[in-house]
């Protein structure tokens, strides 16, 4: 008998996720950890962590991590990478962190072509504080701060992060993936790998937006939450690669 699935080596012994039951964060962290193992990055990785559900990332991954204030992970990662260009630097952020409070830092990192990788979990809400309306909340979505549902007149529109980042000239790779099905997980891992590879090659900003479920705050079972990702999120946030300067023909 051979073990065909085990916990990635770069995860801490006896780590315990602080995510809610059924939350896709756990899968996203695993994919990142698997790639750190596969690409042999553990000894040179430095993560700039964010504030939100993934705030305790340093308790899960056995790599060097520095805490950044809410929204400033990309600024902090810029500092780390500029100080240590040979290290592998990445951020792991939520949509509130990356695309609301930290939008300026995120976008300017992409515009400068900062050579690090950024992972952004999009679950259409502020998870840790209990499900408030975020920059990615869908039209009609009921949250604790949009109790009657998000409407354009009152709340404006959600941001399409991966497309926006793809518009920045310093971006080497930008994609949106989902974790709702096993095949989509495979694609998600491929995209994260690509975002890591462009950094390894020194090509610029690598970005992956991961559509993720939040069963607790959506008040759904984990399975219903994945159905929502498929039926409500993906039509608004289409999956795909929006920019890949390594693709044949260049700036795809």
Partner 1 sequence: MESNEKVLIKGNYAIAQAAVNAGLQCYFGYPITPQTEIGEYLSGVMPELGKAYVCAESELAAINMVLGAVSTGVRAMTTSSSCAVALMQEALSYACGDELPVVLVNVMRAGPGLGYIYPAQGDYNQSVYGGGNGDYKIIVLAPSTVQECIDYTYRAFYLAQKYRNPVILLADGLLGQMMEPASFGENPYPEVDVSSWALTGAKSREGRAIYSVGPDEKKQIQHIYNLFEKFELIKKNETSYEEFNIEDADIILTAFGSMTRNIKAAMTVLRDKGLKVGCFRPVTLSPFPYERISNLAKLGKKFVVVEMNMGQMFKDVRYAVNGKSEVSLINRPCGEWLSVEEIVSAVENIYKKGACYATSI
Partner 2 sequence: MSLIKINNSRCKSCYLCVSTCPKGLIKKSDKTNRLGDYLVEFDDKNNECIGCAMCAKRCPDLAIEVYKEMTNK
Structure tokens that stand for 104 in this block: 């300026």
- Extended strands (E) in 115-244: 117-122, 171-178, 205-211, 240-244
Binder among 9, 12, 13, 19 for partner 2 (CB under 8 A): 19
- Contacts of residue 47, Cβ cutoff 8 Å, sequence gap at least 6: 57, 58, 61, 63, 64, 65, 66, 89, 90, 91, 92
Yes or no: say if 71 and 105 are a contact pair by the CB < 8 Å rule.
Answer: yes
Residue 239, Cβ neighbours under 10 Å: how many? Answer: 18
63-82 residues in contact with partner 1 (CB under 8 A) are: 63-69, 72, 75-82
Structure tokens that stand for 73 in this block: 């992970």
Binder among 10, 23, 51, 68 for partner 2 (CB under 8 A): 23
Binder among 26, 79, 113, 170 for partner 2 (CB under 8 A): 26
Stretch that binds partner 2, among 2-10, 97-105, 142-150, 203-211 (CB under 8 A): 2-10
Residue 213 vs residues 83, 143, 222: alpha-carbon distances, Å: 35, 14, 8
What, of partner 2, partner 1, none, does residue 4 touch, CB below 5 to 8 Å by kind? partner 2
Would you say the C-alpha torsion 92, 71, 181, 168 has a positive or negative sign?
negative
Binder among 21, 85, 156, 238 for partner 2 (CB under 8 A): 21
- Contacts of residue 251, Cβ cutoff 8 Å, sequence gap at least 6: 243, 245
Pairing of strands 171-178, 240-244: antiparallel
Asked if 152 touches partner 2 (CB under 8 A), the answer is: no
> Which residues does residue 242 pair with via DSSP β-bridges, in sequence order?
none
Q: How far is the CB of 170 from partner 1 (least distance, A)?
A: 13
Structure tokens that stand for 188 in this block: 């998600």
Please work out the total of residues on this chain that contact partner 2, with binding judged by CB under 8 A.
27
What, of partner 1, partner 2, none, does residue 215 touch, CB below 5 to 8 Å by kind? partner 2
Structure tokens that stand for 33 in this block: 């950890």
Q: How far is the CB of 64 from partner 1 (least distance, A)?
A: 4
What, of partner 2, partner 1, none, does residue 25 touch, CB below 5 to 8 Å by kind? partner 2
Binder among 10, 25, 41, 98 for partner 2 (CB under 8 A): 25
Residues of the shown chain interacting with partner 2 in the complex, contacts defined by CB under 8 A: 1-7, 11, 16-17, 19-27, 30, 182, 185, 215, 221-223, 226
Residues of the shown chain interacting with partner 1 in the complex, contacts defined by CB under 8 A: 12, 18, 42-46, 48-49, 55-56, 58-59, 61-69, 72, 75-84, 87-88, 104-105, 108, 112
């Amino acid at each position: 008998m051979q073990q065909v699935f085990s916990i990635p080596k770069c995860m801490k012994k006896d780590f315990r996720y602080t995510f809610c039951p059924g939350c896709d964060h756990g899968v996203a962290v695993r994919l990142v950890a698997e790639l750190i193992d596969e690409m042999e990055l553990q000894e040179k990785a430095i993560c700039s962590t964010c504030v939100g559900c993934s705030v305790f990332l340093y308790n899960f991954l056995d790599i060097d991590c520095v805490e950044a204030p809410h929204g400033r992970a990309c600024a902090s990662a810029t500092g780390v990478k500029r100080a240590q260009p040979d290290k592998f630097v990445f951020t792991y952020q939520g949509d509130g962190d990356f695309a609301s409070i930290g939008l300026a830092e995120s976008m300017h990192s992409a515009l400068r072509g900062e050579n690090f990788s950024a992972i952004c979990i999009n679950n259409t809400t502020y998870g840790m504080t209990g499900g408030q309306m975020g920059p990615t909340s869908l039209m009609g979505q009921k949250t604790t701060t949009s109790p009657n549902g998000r409407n354009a007149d009152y709340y404006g529109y959600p941001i399409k992060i991966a497309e926006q980042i793809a518009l920045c000239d310093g971006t080497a790779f930008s994609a949106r993936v989902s974790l709702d099905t096993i095949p989509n997980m495979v694609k998600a891992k491929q995209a994260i790998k690509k975002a890591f590879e462009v950094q390894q090659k020194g090509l610029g900003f690598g970005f992956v937006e991961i559509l993720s479920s939040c069963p607790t705050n959506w008040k759904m079972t984990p399975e219903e939450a994945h159905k929502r990702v498929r039926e409500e999120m993906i039509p608004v946030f289409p999956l795909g690669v929006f920019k890949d300067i390594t693709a044949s023909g260049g700036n795809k």
